[in-house]
Amino acid sequence: MFKSDLSKLCVHTITTKPWDLEKAIEKYVSNGIQGISIWRDAIEGKELSFVRSTLERNEMKVVSLVRGGFFTGENLDSRKMSIQDNLKAIEDAAKIGAEMLVLVCGATPGQSLEKSRTQIRDAIEELLPFAENNNVKLAIEPLHPMYADSRSAINTLYQANNLVEYFDSAYVGIALDVYHVWWDPDLEREIIRCGEKNNLFAFHLCDWRVPTRDMLNDRTVMGQGIIDIQEIINFVKNAGYSGYHEVEIFSEQYWSTDQDKYLDIIIKSYLSYTY
Ligand code: ZN
């Protein structure tokens, strides 16, 4: 246990979506935050060597590029396009110095989840050599079952652990997000399992607002919802995790407010937990 400080705090660019990448870097650094996870829309159309030099000049650690995946599809062409897109994402992650690419694995309405899971496994298998060559890890993020219709057929940490263990590679692991897994009765056991095999690559923080008014963009700051954040932090710590704690919040409500004040709220919340 260490006294909470900001050395392991990472913020996702989507959290402060109204800021462009340059602004986000400037604001994070001036608040003592050195970790950043970059969403692909934040670097779209940008010269990546310039992005990288800006990050390096500011001594920022790029934890993740977010996000790849969406591997499923009813026809081969769409699945091939997804592979191409993920190859590009891996390449971009390497160019900006990101340690990993986060994968939202995909689900296709009208297709069985089992079939989607097979397509997901096949796609990761195809991408893995390229990821290894580029030294970019692939982090599978299990998503809450409410997204099983169209976003991910990987909905529990148990399923994600099984998938990751199938590959048995230092380049395939898990991005654990409290938002997606807080409800899981097997959570502690599966987090420990994940940690024991060195498969816990990333840890995402936010909170579940009650009532949730929108399935996508109504997350909130840790402590303002119903997730027992400290308990999950403890599970992760007991599993041997020593990586960054990434604040990833999609919130129409907070995006419409002053982002400086919002970042203050995030930092105060972050510091109220023991890591
Ligand atoms: Zn996440």
Phi then psi for residue 66, to 5 deg, are: -125, 125
Cβ burial of 139 (10 Å; 0-12, 13-18, 19+) is buried
Return the percentage of the chain with pLDDT > 70, whole number: 99
> Cα–Cα distance between 249 and 208 in angstroms, integer?
10
What's the CA-to-centroid distance between 58 and ligand 1, angstroms? 24
pLDDT in tens, 108-163: 999 999 999 999 999 999 999 999 999 999 999 999 999 999 999 999 999 999 99
* C-alpha closest to that of 248 among 266, 264, 231: 266
What's the CA-to-centroid distance between 176 and ligand 1, angstroms? 7
Find all residues with CB under 8 Å of 261, minimum gap 6, and list them. none
Q: Span 182-189, mean pLDDT? A: 98
> Cα–Cα distance between 213 and 85 in angstroms, integer?
32
Question: Which one is the CATH code of 9-271: 3.40.30.10, 3.30.1120.130, 3.20.20.150, 3.40.50.300?
Answer: 3.20.20.150
- Domain ranges (residues) in the chain: 9-271
Tokens of 63: 């934890």
pLDDT for residue 2 is more than 60: no
* C-alpha closest to that of 36 among 97, 92, 108: 97
Residues whose beta carbons lie less than 5 angstroms from ion ligand 1:
177, 204, 248
What's the CA-to-centroid distance between 68 and ligand 1, angstroms? 12
Find all residues with CB under 8 Å of 206, minimum gap 6, and list them. 177, 178, 179, 219, 220, 221, 222, 225, 247, 248, 249
The pLDDT, as a whole number, for residue 4 is 66
Rg of the chain taking only CA atoms, in angstroms: 18
Judge whether 63 and 38 are in contact, CB under 8 Å: no
The pLDDT, as a whole number, for residue 252 is 98
Strand partners, 102: 66, 139
What's the CA-to-centroid distance between 85 and ligand 1, angstroms? 20
